[in-house]
Amino acid sequence: MTGFELGDGQQIEVRGRLAVYEQRGELQLIAESVQRAGEGDLFQQFMALKAKLEAEGLFEPARKRPLPAFPRAIGVVTSLGGAALHDVVHALQRRVPQTPVCVYAAGVQGAQAASELCGALRRAGERREVDVLLLVRGGGSMEDLWAYNDERLARAIVDCPMPVITGVGHETDFTIADFCADLRAPTPTAAAELCALPIETWTSALGAAESRLNALLQRRLQAGAQRLDWAANRLGKPSHLVTRQQARLSALAQLLWQRSKTRLERNTQNAAQLGLALPARFAAALRQHRQRVERVQFRLAVLDPRLVLQRGYAWLADQDGIPVIQARAVGAGQALKATLMDGEVDLTVTGTRPI
């Protein structure tokens, strides 16, 4: 049994025994086991674990988590003495110097490396200090990278509460950790570049957003100004509106008074013709009604703007009839109209003096 399909051009290692085919006098090799040359048992273990985890759904794209657009902090799981850490930190300082970097130290090679890598992932998950993790190391042989083919590490990556980006070895190197990670980068430097866009990109995006907001604000202000102008044109001069309302109320009060007076006079005449005296309650009601009418007439007289103008005040408005109530609203040379008690006066502003 080979555990893989044999094909032309493959390099293999064969274990077996030699025998002689006596009829032809040929030397034969009776193979007992076959494995890939140079990889042997490690490659078979790799393929077996890959098939197992893939069957469990650990490699499914639907399980992979999206990377944060703006990570508050970035974690790095690697050896403190390796070149990978230097490359990652240098790339992050160049692209996102404002983002903190947390290092979770672990061995990256040897018998204890897989356990240390799992422990570093657990510490990062428990502390919740970062939004994304970089699992990186430099290149090497299959034996050098074997810790990243450990089943415990694969499950620790899947169980990690934050997204994990792997950058293990060179571009041609693939490990079980790469298949389980949320994103695989070809190198440690590439992993750092994938987890954070350069600061210039965000500065440009913020500038574009600011321009859009300013344009939207200007459109809103213009629309509001147009609505205000439309409302002012409909309203016209407030003094004219008050005058119209006062005239209407005066007419209504006069009409009610005339009707009540006519009705009372008619009832009084009818009572006199019949030789009857006006009941006391009707006389009291008449007095109360007259008092109410007098109070209404007094209130209407108080609201009359002409009373204010009679005291020496004037109503100022611009040429469109919009009231002027603040000195800073006008400028030198502007034409205004003043409404006095007996007419209107055209004015020209020569200057303003704030109080």
Q: Cβ–Cβ contacts within 10 Å for residue 148, how many?
A: 27
The pair of structure tokens assigned to 157 is 């990556």
User: pLDDT, tens digit, for every residue of 7-31?
Assistant: 666 667 788 888 887 787 788 888 8
pLDDT at 36: 66
For domain 64-197, is the CATH number 3.40.50.2300? yes
Low-confidence ranges of the chain (pLDDT < 70): 1-4, 7-11, 35-40, 231-247, 249-250, 253, 256-257, 260-287, 289-290, 293, 296-307
The residues pairing with 165 across neighbouring beta strands, listed in sequence order, are 134, 183
Could you tell me the end-to-end alpha-carbon distance of the chain, in angstroms, rounded to an integer?
Answer: 104
pLDDT at 276: 47
User: pLDDT, tens digit, for every residue of 132-151?
Assistant: 999 999 988 888 889 999 99
What angle do the packed helices 40-55 and 151-159 form, to 10 degrees? 30
- List Cβ<8 Å contacts ≥24 apart for 80-87: 80/105, 82/108, 82/137, 82/138, 83/138, 84/108, 84/136, 84/137, 84/138, 84/167, 84/188, 85/136, 87/187, 87/188, 87/189, 87/192
